[in-house]
Structure 1
Amino acid sequence: MKSITIPLTLLALLSVSAGQPRHQHAHHHKANRDFIPKGGKITITGTAYSTTTEIPEVVVYVDQNNKPIHTTTETVVYIPAPASTETRKLPAPSTSTVIAPPAPTKAMSSGAYTPPASSTSASSTSASSTSKHISTFEPIPSPRSSRATPTPSVSFVPSSVPSSVPSFPPPPPISSGSALHGVTYSPYKGSGGCKSASEVDADFALIAKDYGVMRLYGVDCNQIATAYAAAKKYGNKLFLGIYDINSVEQSVSAMAAGVKHDWSIVDTVSVGNELVNNGGATVDQSLGALSQARSALRAAGYQGPVVVVDTFVAMLSHPELCDQSDYCAVNVHPFFDPNTGPHQAGSFITSTVSKIRSKLSDSSKRIVVTETGWPWQGEANGAAVPGMGQQSTALSSIKNAYSDNARDLILFTAFNDMWKRPESGTFMAEQFWGMGGRYSPSDV
């Protein structure tokens, strides 16, 4: 087991994980994007291992004068650098340096972020935690703060690399059904900025072959055009979204221009995401936006499905959201049920879908799960425990439940969402739902 020496200033950067406040899983956008470093566990990018590898290391915390303060065992996650990005090599065999993510040049959020003050406040809603928040160290300055974020480094005490290290199980195999399942995708960098066309292309290059449909949520960041180009190149369909139901006409115009009126690539268009569940809109407002969007899309030449997306809680209470959609589009996250373990994820979803079906005016109507998955890092929610192995187990359970109708399943999410803010209400896990713990190349 190697020993790692970490300055106190770096620990502040490494001790934050993230989430979004809500009852069910909400997907927040531009106004809530903030720069949040990869955190919770110590993350190192380089070429030490060819696959994502998590191992315990002895960590020695020192002050700015290199004086030892505290020694403990922490979890270190080694992330292999993708071939498409500059490789940060770990010099062998004695010392290595990893540069922490730089401070952003501009704030994308309308408000400043303040990290948790202590480990107890960050984990008060959970019985156990896989993230560590150490209150004795200086917190990260807000992106709007005038204080400069230090540029620290990590030094390794000389030791040999272990001959055998544990590795995470690979993501479960793709369903053998008649179609591939889908996956959600966001065009935002961890710094909060928009991904360029080349960065979106690089993302699709990594994931396109594994998924049939790529689900987007909005039209900002020129994401329709960049995703359209990548989807055409790699052979995917797009599930587009009108995020702001007060801007339906503008969103439809942006969609039409983004896909160059080539609607054949569009699988579905959604109206809103969990708005009724989160109090962002009433049922009547959501249904009004659905009708408006359907009319505008038909006028623009799109003849495919138009749906309202909300949580299963909202759909059970208001089945008319399903009844008036072209099919029922529902987000179902087993992780937010404290009585459901990873191996029960698939049965939780199928049971929930059956309950929704019993509420519909047409019980034969198609129901698509438009978000589901499992985090690989964060705090435990009762029996729902995050972790790489747990994610693999949950995804296997979910895929097995949809082995015959994979096209009715969209997983959350393609890459870790490092642009999101941390919240104990979502068990400090919101950043870490990427399939197999995968980071986007633009965040490495």
Structure 2
Amino acid sequence: MVSARLAVLAVAAASIFNGVCALPQAMDKRMATVTQVVRPVVKVFVVVDQDGNTISYSRSTVQPDATPSPKPRRRKSKTSATTTTPPAPALDIVETSAPAPAQTSQSSGGSTDPAPVADGKLGLGIVYSPYHDNQMCKDTATVESEIAAIAASGGGYNWLRIYGVDCDQVANVVTAAWNHQLKVMLGIYNVEDDAAFNADLSSLVSQVKTAMTATGKKDWSGIAFISVGNEVVNQNPGNAEATVSKLLSYAAITRKTVQAEGYTGSVGNTDVWIWYKTYPQLCGEDNLVMINMHPFFDGNCDVASSGAFLKTHLAEIQAACGADKQVIISETGWPNAGDAMGVAIPGQPEQAQFLQLAASNLDTYMLLTAYDEGWKPATPSVERHWGILGSSPSH
């Protein structure tokens, strides 16, 4: 079993974002609660000030050995008018036709080939978790069988996302994905200090080489993108500027290292979308910009408004990053069960509606997540219930 440290999960009152979801007449002000959990967890902060007009939310996956991050400080929001998306450059991935919309349940048939995508776009991706519900690592055979099921589900997935290097997940997931013609977005999660970062970077490179040996592949073309950190700025709002600087430095080191190994794709940092307005340098050096965006956690957006939420705020970040970048949403979704957050109601019909709206409003994006994740904390109740394909076959 992977060792674990306690982490902190805090949930506070809902917030709004200008231009998409209307402010309800009465703001529900709930006090923050704290729950201790084990294993990698997802931390969710949704914060308002005493006047009910501050925006701040976060949603962060935390590795088991990571130091718990501090509670977010209350801060005044910065609103901006809705903008028009500048022309985005094409990614260096060229295929054909448009992706099929994601399905809400796993089918027994279907091709193991990914859905073809339009020129310059990677299409639809999905997050894959390497942990059993009992917090044990999934072995190589389990990863292979589950990724085979994802590829055959009829959902039209072209790529997978993983967040770290523990559980041999890079070697196992990349090998299975390449066997089923899927690309993979890799992540370096542990960026607390130089030693943790360097260890993860070394492991990532080593495990990609293991996957190459297992599949006979000679290059890194099956790696879609690499993210250094996930929502790290959002976990450290009181030290955001220094955190941004450190992340950009780590991304530069990663870029140099993997390019020396033959990788030619984008390397960047992934964070909650609101931070790219304050720190546009997070858009990075490469063509691609990866952001996380969850309408559900706004709390004042019902599922019917989620497509407009995604499209509008994606345009804002595209404007912040500039026309020479292509901004994609690297994590979004809607829970299929659990408690409501304001007017955001979880459920299978709502999740199905979200999938259709996301497909109508986005080109390249990543859904959270392939299977429900029982290893996550039970509080808030939605955290275990984002699976597009239901429960993991292996649990």
TM-score bin (small chain) = 0.5 to 0.7
Q: CA RMSD in A?
A: 2.6
Match of 2:139 among 196, 210, 214: 196
**Residue deviations 1:268-296 (CA, integer Å, cap 9, x gap):** 11100000011186111111111111122
Distance, in Å, in 2 between the alignment partners of 1:271 and 1:326 is 15
Distance, in Å, in 2 between the alignment partners of 1:269 and 1:202 is 24
Q: Could you tell me which residue of structure 2 aligns to residue 432 of structure 1?
A: 385
Q: Per-residue deviation at 1:257?
A: 2.3
Which of structures 1 and 2 has the bigger CA Rg?
Answer: 1
Q: Could you tell me which residue of structure 2 aligns to residue 85 of structure 1?
A: none
Q: Could you tell me which residue of structure 1 aligns to residue 350 of structure 2?
A: 390
**Unpaired segments ≥5 residues, structure 1:** 1-15, 33-109, 112-168
1:416 aligns with 2:362: no
1:21 aligns with 2:44: yes
Q: Secondary structure at the match of 1:263?
A: coil
1:376 aligns with 2:332: no
User: Structure 1's 323 and 270: CA in aligned 2 closer, same or farther, altered over 3 A?
Assistant: closer
Are 2:333 and 2:354, in contact at CA under 8 Å, matched by a contact in 1?
yes
Q: Could you tell me which residue of structure 2 aligns to residue 256 of structure 1?
A: 205
User: Structure 1's 357 and 327: CA in aligned 2 closer, same or farther, altered over 3 A?
Assistant: same
The alignment's TM-score, normalised by the length of structure 2, stands at 0.67
Distance, in Å, in 2 between the alignment partners of 1:270 and 1:208 is 23
* AA of the residue aligned to 1:441: P
Q: Could you tell me which residue of structure 1 aligns to residue 235 of structure 2?
A: 278
Match of 2:360 among 397, 400, 404: 400
**Residue deviations 1:138-173 (CA, integer Å, cap 9, x gap):** xxxxxxxxxxxxxxxxxxxxxxxxxxxxxxx94599
Are 2:42 and 2:60, in contact at CA under 8 Å, matched by a contact in 1?
no
Are 2:248 and 2:284, in contact at CA under 8 Å, matched by a contact in 1?
no
1:306 aligns with 2:306: no
Match of 1:358 among 295, 301, 319: 319
**Residue deviations 1:411-430 (CA, integer Å, cap 9, x gap):** 11111111111334xxx211
Q: Secondary structure at the match of 2:147?
A: helix
Are 2:128 and 2:370, in contact at CA under 8 Å, matched by a contact in 1?
yes
Match of 1:30 among 64, 68, 86: 64
**Unpaired segments ≥5 residues, structure 2:** 1-36, 46-56, 69-102, 108-113, 213-218
User: Structure 1's 172 and 333: CA in aligned 2 closer, same or farther, altered over 3 A?
Assistant: farther
**What's the % identity of the aligned pairs?**
32
Q: Per-residue deviation at 1:330?
A: 0.2
Are 1:342 and 1:394, in contact at CA under 8 Å, matched by a contact in 2?
yes
Distance, in Å, in 2 between the alignment partners of 1:343 and 1:183 is 22
Are 1:20 and 1:430, in contact at CA under 8 Å, matched by a contact in 2?
no
**Residue deviations 1:346-403 (CA, integer Å, cap 9, x gap):** 110110011112222x22410010000000111111111101111111111111112x
Distance, in Å, in 1 between the alignment partners of 2:319 and 2:343 is 27
User: Structure 1's 171 and 396: CA in aligned 2 closer, same or farther, altered over 3 A?
Assistant: farther
Q: Secondary structure at the match of 1:272?
A: strand
1:329 aligns with 2:285: no
Distance, in Å, in 2 between the alignment partners of 1:176 and 1:400 is 17
Q: Secondary structure at the match of 2:179?
A: helix
**Residue deviations 1:309-328 (CA, integer Å, cap 9, x gap):** 00011112211101434411
Q: Secondary structure at the match of 1:429?
A: helix
Q: Per-residue deviation at 1:29?
A: 2.5
Distance, in Å, in 1 between the alignment partners of 2:106 and 2:376 is 26
Q: Could you tell me which residue of structure 2 aligns to residue 229 of structure 1?
A: 175
Distance, in Å, in 1 between the alignment partners of 2:276 and 2:360 is 24
